[in-house]
Amino acid sequence: MDRFIDKNNPNPLYSQISDWIREKVYSGEWQTNQQLPAEEELAQTLNVSRGTLKKAISFLVKEGLLIQIHGKGTFVGEPKVSQPFGQELISFAESMVRKGLSFDTKVIEQGLEHPKKSVQEKLGIAAEEQILFLKRVRNIDDEPVIFMENYINAAICKGIQDADFTKTTLFSEMERRSQKKIDYGVRTFEARAIEEDQAKWLSLPEGYPVLYLDQLVYLEGNIPIETSKVWLRSDKYVITSLLNR
14 binds, among its own copies, DNA, none (CB under 5 to 8 A by kind): DNA
The contact mask relative to DNA for 147-176 (x = CB under 7 A, - = no) is ------------------------------
48 binds, among DNA, its own copies, none (CB under 5 to 8 A by kind): DNA
243 vs 105: CA distance, rounded Å: 30
How many CB atoms neighbour CB 149 within 10 A? Answer: 17
Task: Give the torsion sign (CA, 115, 116, 117, 123).
Answer: negative
Near DNA in 29-68, by CB under 7 A: 36, 38-41, 47-52, 54-55, 68
DSSP state of 41: H
52 binds, among DNA, its own copies, none (CB under 5 to 8 A by kind): DNA
- One of 2, 28, 71, 243 touching DNA (CB under 7 A): 71
Q: State CA 239 to chain mean position distance.
A: 13
Residue type, 85: F
Chain residues in the site for its own copies (CB under 8 A): 51, 82, 86-90, 181-193, 207-212, 232, 234-235, 238-245
67 vs 140 by CB, closer to DNA: 67
Q: 37: which residues sit within 8 A by CB, 6+ positions away?
A: 45
In angstroms, the first-to-last Cα distance of the chain is 37
> Which chain residues interact with DNA by CB under 7 A?
7, 10, 12-15, 36, 38-41, 47-52, 54-55, 68-74
